[in-house]
A and B are shown apart, each in its own frame.
Chain A
Amino acid sequence: MLRQLRSSLQAVIMLTLLLGLAYPLVITGLAQVLWPHQANGSRVEQDGRLVGSLLIGQDFRDQERYFQSRPSASVYDAVATAASNLGPNSRRLSLEIRQRLGAFLRREGPYNPGLTDAAVPADAVTASGSGVDPDISMANAAIQAHRVAAVRGLPLAAVMRLVAEHTDRLAGGLFGPGSVNVLALNLALDAARAP
């Protein structure tokens, strides 16, 4: 009994040092040397100023010049991350989705004549799991491209080319359907205007 207690105490102390300090510190060291960009949060800059992380979505609402992120249940808060957690038969969820659908059509409709409910991609009207989903679907981006091109006075083809450049289609879509990184795309748009 006492012998077991002594072994338990020794084990917890030794193993906490090994697994709780040595292990994460070694991994941190390795990560910082091998992949510092990723390890520190895939940060991106614009004109030398830190503007965000490629992996964390941002709030572009009311910014017609930019592609819009997916709706967020946490108001794009990257610290208190959250999904809506509303159930599949939730009346509240249904009302929220209807509002988002209306807002999407009001925003994109003028630039996409004939846009209907059925053509609005699901990712544009549902809140993401983390609240900070950095991506939108290709269909969503293709609709928004019309607005962005019109507002910025760019040819649609040029905007669509940027969309394609910032679409991630790994292994021919085996690991996902292809997603467009909104922040990277918007940064590219700003850069395209500059010269």
Chain B
Amino acid sequence: MTASGWLQIGLLLVLLTGITPLLGGYIHRVFGGERVLLTHVLGPAERRLSALLAGREPAGQDWKGYAGSVLMFSAVCWLALFLILRTQSIQPFNPQGFRSGPWDLSFNTASSLVSDTGWQFYAGDTTLSNFAQMAGIAVHGFLSAAVGVATGIAVARGFANRSGKELGNFWVDLTRALLYVLLPLAIVGSVFLVSEGAIQTLAGNVHLSTLAGGSQTLALGPVASQKAIMLLGSAGAGFYAVNSTIPFEDPSGVANFVQVLMILAIPAALTATYGRMVGNRRQGWALYAVMLAMFLGAAAVAYPAESRPSPAMRAAGAHGLNMEGKEQRLQASDSTLMAVAATAVGNGSTNAALDSFTGLGGSIPMANMMTGEVIFGSVGSGLFGMLLMVLLAVFVAGLMVGRTPEYLGKRIEAREIKLVTIGAIAVPLIVLFMTAWAISTRYGMRSIFNAGPQGFSETLYTYTSQANNNGSAFAGYVGFSQPHAPGNVGAAGVTFADLAGGAAMLVGRFLPMLAALAVAGSLSGKRTIAAGEGTMRTDTAVFAALLLATISIVALLTFVPALMLGPLVQALTPRLF
């Protein structure tokens, strides 16, 4: 631990808090259909694309209509990506002549990107062509992020609507999310990353003879353009198997700092957008405060934990930071910062091998995900996930004082609470069920790499990450095998891991999303009651504390037993396994 490490975390939070109202206000204007600076440039393109997809006079959709469009679009996306992966060998931009992916692995990969997860059982640098990376992986990093933003905005509209049942038009929202928010930021971000040293080329691998006379091959590709959207849009899939760990993706400490900011920017900004949409900015700040507090708590545990030697290092007589799986330019500070940020946000980016984190340090990314990805969370889905937790907190508070719960002047009734429960319980159930299935049968054993409790941790991490649409990994856990041969000749998926994980990602994405849209549909246009003496205000520090407690208690009650079996037991013992 160093003072500069803490200073960097502090600087990040100051910058993030400064950006949040600016970017959030901009997103609010974009989705309100107001003119922004970019309208001069993008207006015609937006109108044409909107008209093509939604018709000249886009009609508002109720929650079912909106959900229908989301599901149909996502299904077509899934199919398109699956086809690209399966027919890679006949596509252009394939300088290494890679073959097409195995069916089970392609199922997992398509599900991963369409659910904005970015889980990588595949190794991008050794199995995917530049075409599959650009037109497949990167495109769906954009599209699933745009679906997330659009849905988040639609849910917020439902909460805000004083009258009417319309949540907006999905196609209009999708177009705006892409053209005004994701694409411009991605362009700026990728050019910046190149200036720091990230690569961007369509050339094939370069073979060379090293200074010491050995041979080396550099795997090149259009990395920066993909990296930028993967950071901004919460998918987080790396061009390389090791993601931001390799300098070609994350070249320097400065680049890393900006990458962490890119991960957090849009999810944080959406709280400010929400505050503006419901006509009370403090409502947005209350959500932001809870997220920030949880983020800080996570960093405060993980950073010191990684700044000490691991039990394996101690037993070997080594000293210093736990540097196994970490990069020298990033150290414990930058590595934990990205690990905490990327798991708070449902972003699969990582710049260190999380599998080699200490027991305590490794439990923090897991705990972050286990909150249901609401500490900022993925773009859009973090917002509606948090709103479901808000309703739960309001409900709990109502029970405690014996009043009908209400939020934003709207009564929260049985229908909403039932839907909230479905949204909040579905994902933990998938996580625990899948983990139990994988760990107790021989199907799941094949994927485990480490011995002892770490093997359990890997399994738990895998299904926590996939069901919560995070995408980071204890990467020892394998979903496909690749012999040492040029291209992906002979690469084969691990069918159980690929299918179970793929299903977890799809259900974990769309079930809570449908529940949130249904809640929004139910709240939209509900009669509001004027705030009175007994109204519990939801834009205060007291409520923020209650919300924080609700999220923590739900997550703790669900997951502490599982955490005890894996990472925490290793945090408590110097024993080796």
Contacts and interface: CB of A to CB of B under 8 A. Distances in A.
Contacts of B69: 4, 7-8
Contact of A89 (B4, B68, B171, B311): B311
A10 interface: yes
A56 B246 CA distance: 8
B73 A85 contact: no
Given A19-B183, A87-B450, A136 B576 contact: no
A41 interface: yes
A21 interface: yes
B352 interface: yes
A15 B186 CA distance: 15
A149 interface: no
A27 B546 CA distance: 46
Nearest to A189: B211
Given A14-B49, A19-B142, A91 B451 contact: yes
A129 B328 CA distance: 9
B356 A176 contact: no
B216 A135 contact: no
A103 interface: no
A9 interface: yes
A38 B138 contact: no
Given A7-B69, A14-B52, A85-B449, A70 B75 contact: no
Contacts, number: 384
A90 B576 contact: yes
A128 interface: yes
Contact of A51 (B54, B135, B211, B353): B211
Q: Interface size class for chain B?
A: 35 or more
Interface string B370-384: 000000000000000
B125 interface: yes
Interface of B: 2, 4, 7-8, 11, 49, 52-54, 68-69, 72-73, 75-77, 80, 123, 125-126, 134-136, 138-139, 142-143, 171, 174, 178, 183, 186-187, 190-191, 194-203, 205-206, 208-212, 214, 216-220, 222, 224-226, 229, 240-242, 245-248, 251-254, 256-257, 309-313, 315-331, 333-335, 351-353, 355-359, 361-362, 449-454, 457, 474-476, 484, 570, 573-577
Interface of A: 1, 4-5, 7-12, 14-16, 19-21, 23-24, 26-28, 30-32, 34-35, 38-43, 46, 49-53, 55-56, 58-60, 63, 66, 70, 76-95, 97-98, 101, 117-118, 120-123, 125-137, 168, 170-177, 179, 183, 186-187, 190
Given A19-B143, A28-B200, 8 more contacts: A4-B69, A4-B73, A28-B201, A80-B241, A122-B320, A129-B351, A129-B352, A170-B254
